[in-house]
Structure 1
Amino acid sequence: MSTYTVVSGDSMWAISHARGITLEALAAANPQVSDTSQIEVGQVLNIPGGNAPAHSAPASAANVPPPQQAVTLMSGGVPPPAPAAAAVQHSLPPPVGPSPGSEGFRTVGYFTNWGTYERNYHPMDIPGNHITHILYSFANVKPDSGEVYLSDVGADLQKHYPNDPEEPGENVYGCIKQLYLVKKHYRHLKTLLSIGGWTYSANFPAPASTPTGRQTFARTAVQLLADLGFDGIDIDWEYPKDEAEAHNFVLLLEETRRALDNYSAQHAQGRRLLLTVAVPCGKKNYGLLRMAEMDKYLDFWNLMSYDFAGGWDKIAGHMANMFPSGNVPDSTPFNADEAITAYVAGRVHPKKIVFGLPLYGRAFEQTDGPGHPCQGVGEGSWAPGIWDYKALPRPGSEEVNDHDLMASWSYDRTARKMISYDTPEIAVAKADYIRQRGMGGGMWWELSGDAPVGSERSLIAKTVERLGGVGNLDHSENLLDYPASRYENLRKGFQ
C-alpha cells in the first residue's frame, strides 16, 4: 500500500479516480477520515492496490481470494464534472480494409474509463486498425434492483475534449462521444459496454436470481446501448459461486439476448447486436458454468487467461502461461491450455473463444525466480506490483522466454525481483497457438499498457501481424444509427 499527501484542490473522489480505485476502497484504507467530503492539505492518505485481479475497477484471477468488495460513487448521486481532458486531439490513421479470403480474427481490447486520468489514455489513442472490438469498462449493477448504470459519468459523459462545442439540448460528451467518433472512422470497430468486473461482481447474484431483476438488468443495459451508441453488451461476472448462480447466469443471458433482439427489430433493422462474456481459467470457477446453455445466447467468449499468479501468492509464479510445468509445478498453479480444452469439451466452438493476453506484468520480490518463495511485490506503474507492459523490462533485468510453457518473465539478479509478463516472442507463440487451435482471436487487458503499435515492442501489433495482419481481421461493419438515443448530438451522428 502506497501513500499520498493531499494538496490544494484535492478531493477524495478526484484522488480515487486518478488512481483507478473506487471512492469506497480509498475510504476503507483510511478509517481516520470520518467524512470523505472533507480532507485537509498535507494530510497523508493510504492508497490501496496491488493484489486485486486485472478486471478490477482499476484483471481477473483464477481462484484468487477476493479483495474487499467496493461499490462505486454513482449509487447515491452524480459526481462533480470531471476536469477538461489533457489529451491532445489528433488525426487517426486511415482505415485498412479486409484482405481477400480474410479469416476474420477478432482482436478485442478493454478500454477503462479510469485510464483517462493519470494514465492519460483516451479513445483517440485506440489503435483502430488493429482492434475489432472495444469492451468499455465498467458499468455497475444495483444489487437491489438489477439496474445497470455508468460508474463514472464525469469520464463517460461529461468531460469536454478539444473541439467539443457547447450545444443546446441534452447532449453527450466524454469518452462516449470520442468512442463513437473513433468507430465512425473505423467502420469495422465494434464497441460493447462491459458490465461488472471483479470489483462490481458481488452485485450480480441478487438481481440475477429473480425474473424482475433479470428483466430490469436487460432493459437498462440495452437502454444504455441505445443511448450511448454501443454495438453490444459484455457481462463480466466473476464468478457464479454455485449451481444456482450458474443457472441464473444462463437466465440472465437469455433475458439480455431477448432484449437486444427486440431493440434491434425496432431500431436496428434486425441486425445482430453482440452479447459476450468474460470467463475464467480456474477449474473451480469454469467447472460450474453451463457452457452449452450459455453458448446459445453468446456471440463469443473472452477467456481471462492471465492473473494465474500474483501478490496473493507466497510462491513466485507465471501469471499467463499456456502449459503447466512438469519440472517446477509450483510455478504454474493454472494454465490456459487445460481451460481451453474444457470449454471446447463443454461444446463451445473454438472459433467463439477469444484468448486473453495481458498488457501488464506482475512482480514478485525477494525470490530466486519461478517456483521459489517470494516476499512482497514492490512498486508498480500505477499500483504496487503491477507494471504496464510498456515499462518492461525494468533496468537491470534480463528477459527470459520459456517456449515449453509458453511463458516469459524478467529477472533482476541483484534485486532478486521477478516480473511475469508476455514478451513479443511469447505473444507470437500464442498467436500461433490461436491459429493452430482454430480459435477466434485475441483479447487484451487493457489497452493503455501496450507499447505504441508502430514500435517493435507492441504486443498487439506482433499478435495481429502473426494472425495474418490487419487485413485478416474481422471487418464486419459497426452500427452508427441510434434513433432512440436520449442524446440529440448522438442521434445526429455528431454531424
Structure 2
Amino acid sequence: MKLSKLYFLTLTALIISACGGGSDGASNETSPTSTPTSESDHQTLPSSENTTIGNTENTENTENTEPEVPETEVEPTPIPSINIVQFIVNGIPETADGTVNFIKPNQEVISYSLSEMRSQSGVTLTSNDYSVESTILYEGINYVLTTASISIHSGMTSPVSLNYNALAAEAGVIHITLNNLPSGSTERLVSVYDNESNLVNSQMTNNFNVTLSLNPGTYTISYQGYLDNANNRYYSANNTNNITVTAASTQDLAISYSADNVFYEVGAYYPAWGTYGRDHQIHHLDAKDLDVLYYAFLNFNANGIVTLGDGYADTEKRFTTNVTTAHGVYQAGTWFGEGSDKPFYGNLERIQQLKTLAKNQYNNDLIAVFSIGGWTWSGNFPSVAADPQKRLAFANSATALVEQYNMDGLDLDWEFPVWGVQNEHINAANTAIAAQGAGITNEQKQAILDQYLQYSDAANYVELIKVVRQKLDNLSNTTGKTYHLSIAINQAPENITLNHYSQMLPYLDSINIMSYDAAGTWDSTTGHQSPLSATEGTDAPNYTTTKGQWNLISSVAALNAEGVSNQKIIAGIPLYGRQWVEVDVGLAHIPGVYQSGVTGPGEWEDGSLGYNCLMGDSFSNVKDNEVCASFANTASDYTYILVRDNNNVLRSVGNFGEVGINGYTISGVTYPFDRIVESYYYNPLSRMFITYDSATMVKIKAHWLKQQGLKGAMFWDTSGDAPNPETNPDPSLIDALANTFN
C-alpha cells in the first residue's frame, strides 16, 4: 500500500490548521503550575435551554432582551498518527501469499499482501483499533487467521504477531479409466506428482479404474506402461495429464493406450581425447548394440563458427595396421600406398568403418552425430544463441561439417542455459543467498535469483534449435538422408522448469538427460551420483550431497510437467564412478552411506574412475593402473543396491537378485522401482566408497524406462565400459542395457 502525495499535502494542511498556524493563533501552552484539562473540559456549549446566562442578581431591563450566547469553541478533529508497523507471520509457509484485511471501526478496509507484511520495511497503518481477517489457500490447505484484532498506536517498537491455523481444504476427486490395453494385461500404476515433481499419490487400478482424492492444487498424472511379451509390443498412455484440482470438485479422465514400436535406443558418447592416454579407440566400440554414437566434442567461436575440437584426433591420426575385431576388420590408414588416399583419417574415418561393419555384420543402422559444446566449450552459447546472425553462422557451419565428414546429425550440449556456463550464475546466486544467513525469506531468495539468472537463455535456445533444424532439413533435401538433432540437458528439476523444452519438441529427435554427477567428491559426504529415486529422509541425517529431486524419476516427471512426452526422453547412465576413501561403516544396514570421506586417487583424475577400472584384474585385459588393479575381484563382494523397504527404511541389499518388470527381487522381497536408489561399492577393509552403476543397476533402469515408455538411454562415456565383450567375460554395461531392451 502507498500513500499519495496529495494525502501528505492534505495531512500537512490539517496539522497547520489544528495548531492555529500563523501569528494570530492563540497559544495552547499552559503555565508550569497549571493543571492540564481533560478533553471534556473543552465542552463550552450550553447544557440546556433553562440555563441562566450572565449575572443573575441584576435582572433589570432584561425582560425583553435575548440572552447573550457565547461563541461555541469547536474542537478540531484529531489527526491520527501514521505508523510503520512490522509484522511476524506465524503458522503458514513462507512461500504462501495472499491478502490480509485490516478493518477500522468505521468499516474502512485496508489490505496488504503477506509478502508486503513480511518485508523488513513494514507497512503503513494509522493509529487505531482494527479487526483482522484473512483466509489463504496454499497447496490444498486453508490457512485461517486466528488473530482477530490488533491495536496500532504511535511509538510502537515491537513487531505485531499474526497467527494462522491450517485447516485442510475439502479435497477434489479424480475418476480415471484406462482404455485400449490388450487382453491379458495386468492392472496399471497411476502416479500423481505436484508442481515441484514430488510424488504425492500412487495407486494401482482396479479393473483399470482408479479414484484419487487430491487436495486443491496443480498436478501431473502419469500412467504405467504395459509390455505385451507375447506380441513383443509396448503399450503406453497417449498423454500425461496436467490437471488443476479445486475444492469439492469431481473430474472424469479417460486415458487411451496405444502400442509403441518396440525399439529402445542405445546411445553412447565417445570422447575424442580417449584416443590418447586412455588408448580407447573407435574399433573398441560395440557395433552390434549401439544405435547412436555421439562424438564429443566440436567447438565454436564467439561468432558462432563451429570447428573440429581436435584436428589431429578427429581427422589426421593414422592407424597404420589393420585391426581385427569380432565385428570385422578395420582397414589401416597409411601414409603411403594403399590406404593413403582417403579424404580424411583419424577418429572420423574410423567411425565410417564402424558404421559399415555394424550394417554388414548385424544389419544395424548405427548413426554417428557430432556433439557440440560440453562442459569446457559452452562459453559462447549464450551470446551466439542471442544473436540471429550468429545463430545462422552456427547452424550453417555445423551442418557443413556434418556433410563434409558424412555424419548423421548434431547434438547440442549447452552446460547450462539460464544457470550460466559451468553453473556460473546459479553458483553466484547461491553464494549471495548464503551470505544473507538463515533468516532470508523465500521472496528475498527469489529476488537474488532474478538478479543473477539469465532467463533469456531459454527463449534464445529455442531459436537456435529452430535454425539448426532448418539447415539440417535443407541438407536432407540435397542428400536424401534424414538427420538427427538432440540436446543434452541438466537433470535438476529446478533447471528444467526454467527452460522451454516443450517448445523445442517439433525440432528434436530426443532430449538426453545427463542424469549423473548428482553427487561427487566435491562434497565431503558420500552420496549417489546417478540415483533412480530419491533417498532423502529422516534416516539419512548426513544427506548433503544432493537435493532429493536430483534423481531420474523426478527429472522425467519435471519434463512431463513441462509438456515433454516420454517418447522423446533419453535417460543418462554413467560408465564411471565417484570415489571417496577413509570412509567409516556408519550404520550397519547401509554400510558407508552418508558418511564422511575424502577424495580418492581415481584413475584419470582424482575421485573419478571408469566402470572397467572398478572391475580390477577380473578383466582379461587388465588396466595398467595401480588403482584399478587394487580392486582385484572385490567388486562382486562389496557392491550393494540401496533400497527403501516396506517400512520406508533405507537398506543395502545384495547386487545379484532378479530384475523384472515389477522391480528388483532379492531374498524373496521385491522392491518396486520407485524404492530403488542406486548401486554402490563399499569395502570396509580399504574404507573405500564408490557410487557407480553396476550391471544389475543398469538392468533395473532399463526395465523402469521400458515401463515408462522412454525412448531409450545413453552412456557417458564409452571409455569406461568393458572392452569388446566377445573377447571379455565381464559384463559390458552397454550390453546389459541392450540385452534388457531386447
* TM-score scaled by length of structure 2: 0.48
1:409 lines up with 2:680 in the alignment: yes
Structure 2 letter corresponding to 1:309: A
1:303 CA displacement: 1.0
Query: Residues 139 and 196 of structure 1 are in contact (CA less than 8 Å); yes or no, is this contact kept in structure 2?
Result: yes
Residues 100 and 427 of structure 1, relative CA distance in 2, 3 Å threshold? closer
1:134 lines up with 2:293 in the alignment: yes
Q: Work out the CA distance in 2 between the residues paired with 1:212 and 1:332.
A: 39
Q: Work out the CA distance in 1 between the residues paired with 2:570 and 2:694.
A: 19
Q: Counterpart of 1:351?
A: 567
Give secondary structure in 1 for the equivalent of 2:277. coil
Higher share in helix: 1
- Equivalences for residues 104-183 of structure 1 within 5 A: 104-143=263-302, 145-161=303-319, 162=321, 163-165=332-334, 166=336, 171-183=343-355
| Higher alpha-carbon deviation: 426-435 or 397-406 | 397-406
1:168 CA displacement: 7.8
1:366 CA displacement: 2.4
Query: Residues 321 and 332 of structure 1 are in contact (CA less than 8 Å); yes or no, is this contact kept in structure 2?
Result: no
1:415 CA displacement: 3.0
1:206 lines up with 2:480 in the alignment: no
Q: Work out the CA distance in 1 between the residues paired with 2:545 and 2:375.
A: 24
Q: Counterpart of 2:595?
A: 372
Q: Counterpart of 1:258?
A: 470
1:272 CA displacement: 2.3
1:405 CA displacement: 3.0
- Equivalences for residues 426-465 of structure 1 within 5 A: 426-452=697-723, 453-454=725-726, 455-465=729-739
Q: Work out the CA distance in 2 between the residues paired with 1:170 and 1:446.
A: 28
Higher share in strand: 2
Aligned identity (percent) is 31
| Higher alpha-carbon deviation: 163-172 or 208-217 | 163-172
Q: Counterpart of 2:109?
A: none
1:184 pairs with one of 351, 356, 365: 356
Query: Residues 523 and 545 of structure 2 are in contact (CA less than 8 Å); yes or no, is this contact kept in structure 1?
Result: no
Structure 2 letter corresponding to 1:126: L
Q: Work out the CA distance in 1 between the residues paired with 2:523 and 2:484.
A: 36
Q: Counterpart of 2:51?
A: none
Residues 21-70 of structure 1, C-alpha deviation per residue, up to 9 Å, x if partnerless? xxxxxxxxxxxxxxxxxxxxxxxxxxxxxxxxxxxxxxxxxxxxxxxxxx
Structure 2 letter corresponding to 1:210: D
RMSD: 1.9
Q: Work out the CA distance in 2 between the residues paired with 1:229 and 1:315.
A: 46
Aligned residues: 366
1:385 CA displacement: 0.9
Structure 2 letter corresponding to 1:255: V
Q: Work out the CA distance in 2 between the residues paired with 1:245 and 1:289.
A: 8
Query: Residues 208 and 252 of structure 1 are in contact (CA less than 8 Å); yes or no, is this contact kept in structure 2?
Result: yes
Q: Work out the CA distance in 1 between the residues paired with 2:305 and 2:533.
A: 40
Q: Work out the CA distance in 2 between the residues paired with 1:459 and 1:221.
A: 31
Q: Counterpart of 2:579?
A: 363
Query: Residues 406 and 426 of structure 1 are in contact (CA less than 8 Å); yes or no, is this contact kept in structure 2?
Result: no
Structure 2 letter corresponding to 1:460: I
Q: Work out the CA distance in 2 between the residues paired with 1:381 and 1:228.
A: 33
Query: Residues 264 and 272 of structure 1 are in contact (CA less than 8 Å); yes or no, is this contact kept in structure 2?
Result: yes
1:160 CA displacement: 0.8
1:171 CA displacement: 2.2
Residues 182-203 of structure 1, C-alpha deviation per residue, up to 9 Å, x if partnerless? 1122231001000000111112
1:370 CA displacement: 2.3
1:330 CA displacement: 3.6
Q: Work out the CA distance in 2 between the residues paired with 1:103 and 1:195.
A: 30
Structure 1 letter corresponding to 2:318: H
1:250 CA displacement: 0.5
Q: Work out the CA distance in 2 between the residues paired with 1:203 and 1:414.
A: 47
Residues 265 and 313 of structure 1, relative CA distance in 2, 3 Å threshold? same
Residues 169 and 179 of structure 1, relative CA distance in 2, 3 Å threshold? closer
| Higher alpha-carbon deviation: 393-402 or 219-228 | 393-402
Query: Residues 525 and 596 of structure 2 are in contact (CA less than 8 Å); yes or no, is this contact kept in structure 1?
Result: yes
1:389 CA displacement: 0.2
Q: Work out the CA distance in 2 between the residues paired with 1:147 and 1:313.
A: 37
Q: Counterpart of 2:514?
A: 304
1:386 CA displacement: 0.7
1:309 CA displacement: 0.5
Give secondary structure in 1 for the equivalent of 2:512. strand
Q: Work out the CA distance in 1 between the residues paired with 2:460 and 2:396.
A: 17
- Equivalences for residues 198-277 of structure 1 within 5 A: 198-241=375-418, 242-266=454-478, 268-269=479-480, 271-277=481-487
Residues 170 and 448 of structure 1, relative CA distance in 2, 3 Å threshold? closer
Residues 308-346 of structure 1, C-alpha deviation per residue, up to 9 Å, x if partnerless? 011211221100111111332446532111011111221
What stretches of structure 1 of length at least 5 have no aligned partner?
1-98, 469-495
Q: Counterpart of 2:490?
A: 280
Structure 2 letter corresponding to 1:180: Q
Q: Work out the CA distance in 2 between the residues paired with 1:212 and 1:119.
A: 39
Query: Residues 190 and 230 of structure 1 are in contact (CA less than 8 Å); yes or no, is this contact kept in structure 2?
Result: yes
Query: Residues 514 and 572 of structure 2 are in contact (CA less than 8 Å); yes or no, is this contact kept in structure 1?
Result: yes
Q: Work out the CA distance in 2 between the residues paired with 1:243 and 1:115.
A: 35
1:447 CA displacement: 0.8
* Greater RCO (Cα-Cα under 8 Å, separation 6 or more): 1
Structure 1 letter corresponding to 2:699: V
What stretches of structure 2 of length at least 5 have no aligned partner?
1-230, 234-260, 322-331, 360-364, 419-453, 585-591, 616-630, 644-674
Q: Work out the CA distance in 2 between the residues paired with 1:406 and 1:373.
A: 19
Give secondary structure in 1 for the equivalent of 2:379. helix
* TM-score scaled by length of structure 1: 0.71
| Higher alpha-carbon deviation: 331-340 or 285-294 | 331-340
Q: Counterpart of 1:16?
A: none
Structure 2 letter corresponding to 1:172: F
Q: Work out the CA distance in 1 between the residues paired with 2:610 and 2:409.
A: 28
Residues 447 and 168 of structure 1, relative CA distance in 2, 3 Å threshold? closer
Q: Counterpart of 1:35?
A: none
1:399 pairs with one of 635, 639, 648: 639
Query: Residues 314 and 346 of structure 2 are in contact (CA less than 8 Å); yes or no, is this contact kept in structure 1?
Result: yes
2:532 pairs with one of 322, 325, 347: 322
Query: Residues 324 and 332 of structure 1 are in contact (CA less than 8 Å); yes or no, is this contact kept in structure 2?
Result: no
Residues 459 and 321 of structure 1, relative CA distance in 2, 3 Å threshold? same
Structure 2 letter corresponding to 1:176: L
Query: Residues 406 and 430 of structure 1 are in contact (CA less than 8 Å); yes or no, is this contact kept in structure 2?
Result: no
